[in-house]
Amino acid sequence: MFSAFRLIALAGCFAGCAGAASAPPPPPPPPAAGGLTLRDVGTFSFPVQVVAAPGDRSRLFVVEKRGTVRIVRQGATLGTPFLDWSANVSNGSEQGLLALAFHPQYASSGLVVIHYTNRQGDTRVSTMRVSSDPDRLDPASENPIFTATQPFSNHNGGTIAFHPVDGHLYIGLGDGGSGGDPQGNGQRLNTVLGKLLRLAVSNAGQVTVPADNPFAGQGQARGEIWSYGLRNPWRWSFDRTNGDLYLADVGQNAREEVNVTSTAVSRGANFGWNVMEGRSCFQATTCNQTGLVLPVLDYAHGDGCSITGGHVYRGSAIPSLVGTYFYADYCQGWVRSFRFVAGSVTDPREWPSLAPNGQITSFGEDADGELYLMTAGGRVARIVASP
């Protein structure tokens, strides 16, 4: 199902996208010396996220694309899901239950946010509250806080996250789909498609547009927009120590990219799509790059076909990895990493020992900052030091 098109389920364009010539890819980074392996957590139905509640070291929450959230407690998967939202979710193509985020004050509020495509295929972001059973959400508590009509079934984005410094909710949306951004959504400020959005969500679940959003109150521009020029930001994350944004944006048919910015730089940033694809002009030999924030890293489709963004390692189990960002390619199945130091990519590595022999859908973090990866075939595993 998910290999019939270039990326069908998550991050590519439909099979009708035309090929494009690209420069020969650079040689891949050298293999790392080893030292990492995968420790299986369990097998699930197309997992797309692993997340933990703030300060909760006893449970992991695994989001399944079909519309369920499973709990893993002390190595065992509970029989009853934290949430079964499958009756309300369309999960064809790149649709589904795409992410869950715990409110920073979850311990007192019991508030979570979910991001999914409804039965009509449109984006819905809703709050929910935990029930009297701490291992169950209350489905009746759903409160939609953001909606967006999707013109096509792909490029829905997916990630939602609360910023570790400002505490606001960020929502990543793709350009609406098809191929090549036919509606020009990436560069238009009067649509939320192709954007990173920012909302204030109170402990009580009240939602407002922050007054310091870069386009708040500016004519026809959507006030929710934080940054723009995105094609399909399938997986992005904040560095939990400083709030820096690591955003992987899936390319059209030539290049994949990773953007790294501070909060200050990402405010109002134009990441370039569909003027640029990676660090190259899209379907042109030259283009006006004035004011664009270009990726810190990109790679050609001779090296892969669809990037899966990850996280900066901030755990304690493997001290030598602290500050290392991990990412992967969905099609080729490799895992790579780099450090971003003083504005430059350093220490690029590939980790053959982490190749899970499957299509990598996502990475995740637990409450301690340890990292996990997931595959379309259902594997969820923790990245650990080799014995």
What are the distances in angstroms from CA 149 to CA 144, 163, 201, 222?
14, 25, 22, 14
Average pLDDT over residues 356-361: 92
DSSP at 136: -
13-17, 254-258, 338-342: lowest mean pLDDT where? Answer: 13-17
Cβ neighbour number for residue 264 with a 10 Å cutoff: 9
| pLDDT value, residue 30 | 55
Domain boundaries, the chain: 36-385
Per the CB < 8 A criterion, the answer to whether 131 and 138 are in contact is yes
| pLDDT value, residue 159 | 98
Q: Dihedral sign, CA of 241, 244, 245, 248?
A: negative
Residue 88: pLDDT over 50: yes
Runs of H (alpha helix) within 196-339: 263-266
Amino acid letter, 173: L
What would the DSSP string read from start to end of 48-94? EEEE--TT--SEEEEEETTTEEEEEETTEE-SS-SEE-GGG---STT
Cα distance between residue 215 and residue 372, in whole Å: 35
> Between 3.30.450.20, 1.20.1740.10, 2.120.10.30, 1.10.3720.10, what CATH number should domain 36-385 receive?
2.120.10.30
Amino acid letter, 10: L
* Main-chain phi, psi angles of 308, to 5 degrees: -120, 110
Residue 213: pLDDT over 70: yes
Cα distance between residue 246 and residue 238, in whole Å: 6
Residue 203: pLDDT over 50: yes
| pLDDT value, residue 357 | 83
Span 262-306, pLDDT tens digits: 999 999 999 999 999 999 999 999 999 999 999 999 999 999 999
The mean of the pLDDT values for the chain is: 92
Q: How many CA atoms lie within 13 A of 36 on its CB side?
A: 27
User: 373-387: buried (b, 16+ CB within 10 Å) or exposed (e) per residue?
Assistant: bbbbbbbbbbbeeee
Residue 29: pLDDT over 80: no
Average pLDDT over residues 101-126: 98
